[in-house]
Amino acid sequence: MGLVMAIFIDEKTRVMVQGITGNQGSFHARQMLAYGSNIVAGVSPGKGGREVENVPVFDTAEAAVAAQEPDASILFVPAAFAKDGALEALSAGMKVIVMITEGIPVHDAMEVIDYANRKNAVVVGPNTFGIVSSNKCKIGIMPNQIYVGGPIGVVARSGTLSYEIVANLKEAGYGTSTVVGMGGDRILGLNFINVLEEFEKDSQTELIVMVGEIGGTAEEEAAEYIKNNVSKPVIAYLAGKSAPPGKRMGHAGAIIERGKGTFDGKVKALEAVGVKVAELPFQVPEMAKEILR
């Protein structure tokens, strides 16, 4: 069949933009439409009946779902209202929710993720750049021009680093299947293991790139999972090699505590299970060449 797969979202995904009439919402809705995403509805309380870029706007997620049947939503909503927006979208039946907003209170994030789990829905983020299945659908704020179809699946904690690595891969002639931004917060919806599991099943993905960073134990847990469950080759790049221990770095997730989550500890854990760890972002395409030739 030669069916080109993707994970979580694809060309059939019907997207709803919550907060579409705001500056961020309307700007990024235009970018997503330009990429080819199928945005079918916007939500902005009090602005129902308007249109943004020919996309009909509704007062509530429920009204948007009744009229347009979206199945994924992206939230451009201030942190104080993000929980309500996400719960509203989940309760209306969204299967994928992308939470761009940063600074969402931890308890709010926990409540949203718990509800999503009960609804068998996927939360990308919070504090994420989003998710893109190359040439099919982009739900997020990443730059359109670097995502072209190909065999490499990418999952990242950091947005800017993942852009750099995806751009380097594209320059070397390699496109991506799906790129997932887990987000930089302490409490996250999707984690490395959820995404690795999907990439392992995805027939388009031949190589997986993990972009991690110091702090937390996400990479160590991923290594443990890879050992027993992932047959595809994995390359990792970790940010924060030169960060002093005990200091709080940019992401809430990047805090090193009690000797856990150090750069060296993560590298050791990953290399022990056969993951190739790049020292610098530009080495990722060189390693990919070795593997995919």
Instruction: Show the domain range for 91.
Output: 14-124
Alpha-carbon dihedral sign for residues 16, 23, 48, 30: negative
Q: Taking Cα atoms as reference points, which of 276, 119, 147 lies closest to residue 209?
A: 276
Statement to judge: residues 112 and 201 lie in one domain: no
Structurally, the chain folds into a number of domains equal to: 2
pLDDT score at 1: 31
Statement to judge: residues 148 and 288 lie in one domain: yes
User: What is the residue whose two structure tokens read 């009090």?
Assistant: 46
Cα separation, 103 vs 77, in Å, equals 11
pLDDT tens for the chain, residues 1 to 293? 345 578 999 999 999 999 999 999 999 999 999 999 999 999 999 999 999 999 999 999 999 999 999 999 999 999 999 999 999 999 999 999 999 999 999 999 999 999 999 999 999 999 999 999 999 999 999 999 999 999 999 999 989 999 999 999 999 999 999 999 999 888 999 999 999 999 999 999 999 999 999 988 999 999 999 999 999 999 999 998 887 766 655 666 656 666 678 899 999 999 999 999 999 999 999 999 999 98
Q: The CATH number of the domain where 106 resides is what?
A: 3.40.50.720
Cα separation, 246 vs 214, in Å, equals 11
Residue 36 covered by a domain: yes
pLDDT score at 253: 63
Q: Under DSSP, is residue 123 helix (H, G, I), strand (E, B) or coil?
A: strand
pLDDT score at 241: 87
Residue 2 covered by a domain: no
Which of the residues 28, 136, 251, 266 is marked catalytic? 251
Residue 235 covered by a domain: yes
Would residue 251 show up in a list of annotated catalytic residues for this protein? yes
